[in-house]
Structure 1
Amino acid sequence: MRLPITQTSLHRTFQASAKNTKLATSQLLKPVSVLQTRKMASAPNDLNIENTNIKTASGVTLDDQQKTLVGSVLDLFAGRPSLKKLQLWADDGTFEDPITRAVGRAQYEPQWYGLQTAFSEIERLHHEVTSGGNPISMDLRTRYVIKGINKEQTIDSKVNIFYDNATGKITKVEDKWDGKLPDSSIQNAFRKINAVTVPKMVGVPKNDEEDAARGNQ
């Protein structure tokens, strides 16, 4: 028969065990610093981030975690997503550009995988981090070629990366285009990967093995 557990009995048991395991208990209860938490959240060596040469404006510095976030976002904009890189995002994170607002993992993950579906070529022409705060801000210029019609368009963006200081995870990415898109074909291509249609059209890999089979690991 199971004996009833009272607050007093629990307290006495804890006191007795603590005398013999003082060191272990103190280590177990030792607070984890914000920096340690952020390092555990990033695990950059396991992410296979391709864009590691982060260019910054004069006077702008980034810590290791910020470099990891910027590198991963550059990979995403280049059509090089992976489940591991997207684990740097909070589950309730947001991606927003002039024609899309994707909230939550089920909406923003297909946005990034959708780039591979919509475009035959994606080339980053320029990037520069202009602010190392929160958000991290950078200028981005990207060339896109639409699949099927080989229509080419270059987009200049102002990208803001918001993140949680405690977890180090991305909470929001804003992609602000300079001016309007000059061609309706490129605009229609982007519309195909908006938050409403993309989850229905684009399959997100279920695991790392499937992701690797697509060449994303």
Structure 2
Amino acid sequence: MRSPILFSLPKSALQASKFNRPLLYKTSKMSTGIPSQAPVSTAAADSITENHAGGSGTGVSASDLGIENTNISTAAGVNLSERQRVVVGSVLDLFAGRPSLKKLSLWSDTATFADPLTIAEGRKQYSAQWYGLQAAFSSIERLKHEVVSAGNPIEMNLSTKYTVKGIGKEQRIDSVVRIWTEREGGEGSIMKVEDRWNGEIPEGAIAKAFRNLNSVVVPAFVSVPKNEEEDAKKGN
């Protein structure tokens, strides 16, 4: 990854994480307002849209979407459909800091991403969260993963090592990730992804305030590509 100019969030936001996981963002290639995102206009995206509208969802493969994580580990007795493998692979790519408009086209416009710091609601907010990983961390290493449930939500255990850009601090985070889709078997759009660090998400008004602050601030400082050409320039 290229080394961008970095922007640091206020201390109050940074201290919200018990992992002291600072979030740093690009100031290069930014518009003056909150970035917008145009829909993917390729034939592959059209096919995805058709599938979400009520098709089987089996017409789009991992290669169509440029998904890199195709070797999905499952617990004994857990069998994923091909569609679920596409969904899980795309989410693993996102956690590895490898977002793209094609991968995010699997998500509903009104989908939600939640972790201990954030409730990102809607395409603008969750897209900025995923693209923000590229700006925040110099490397993201997936240590291991295992899908433990093929239901709805799909559930997997995930261990990831993050190296913070600029200071080199490393942090391992063990997560329980849950993925909800519109229908069973991974069919339809992704509606929600929940990332529970060490199996827990803190509750209460203060935790919610920090989450909402983060989801509002991040889109203002993270540049989300408007089209595939801009996406390619970012190396996605």
- TM-score, normalised relative to structure 1: 0.75
Alignment of 1:34-73 (within 5 A): 37-39=55-57, 42-73=60-91
Check 1:179–1:173 CA distance in 2 against 1; reply closer, same or farther (3 A cut). Answer: closer
Q: Which residue of 2 aligns with 1:174?
A: 194
Q: Return structure 1 stretches of 4+ with deviation > 6 angstroms.
A: none
Unaligned runs of 5+ residues in structure 1 are: 1-31, 181-189
The offset of 1:38, in angstroms, is: 3.2
What secondary structure does 1:59 align onto? coil
The answer to whether the 8 A contact 2:145-2:157 is kept is yes
Q: Which residue of 1 aligns with 2:163?
A: 145
The offset of 1:41, in angstroms, is: 7.1
Distance 1:130 1:83 in 2: 28
The offset of 1:121, in angstroms, is: 0.7
RMSD: 2.5
Alignment of 1:57-136 (within 5 A): 57-136=75-154
What secondary structure does 1:39 align onto? coil
Check 1:89–1:179 CA distance in 2 against 1; reply closer, same or farther (3 A cut). Answer: closer
Distance 1:55 1:49 in 2: 15
The amino acid across from 2:192 in the alignment is K
Question: Is residue 156 of structure 1 aligned with residue 195 of structure 2?
Answer: no
Distance 1:148 1:109 in 2: 23
The amino acid across from 2:93 in the alignment is D
What secondary structure does 1:144 align onto? strand
Distance 1:41 1:134 in 2: 21
The answer to whether the 8 A contact 2:142-2:159 is kept is yes
Question: Is residue 206 of structure 1 aligned with residue 226 of structure 2?
Answer: yes
The offset of 1:42, in angstroms, is: 3.9
Distance 2:174 2:142 in 1: 10
- TM-score, normalised relative to structure 2: 0.69
The amino acid across from 1:202 in the alignment is V
Unaligned runs of 5+ residues in structure 2 are: 1-49, 201-209
The offset of 1:39, in angstroms, is: 2.2
The offset of 1:46, in angstroms, is: 1.5
What secondary structure does 1:115 align onto? helix
Q: Which residue of 1 aligns with 2:214?
A: 194
Bigger radius of gyration = 1
The amino acid across from 1:157 in the alignment is S
Distance 2:51 2:165 in 1: 47
Higher RCO (CA < 8 A, seq sep 6+): 2
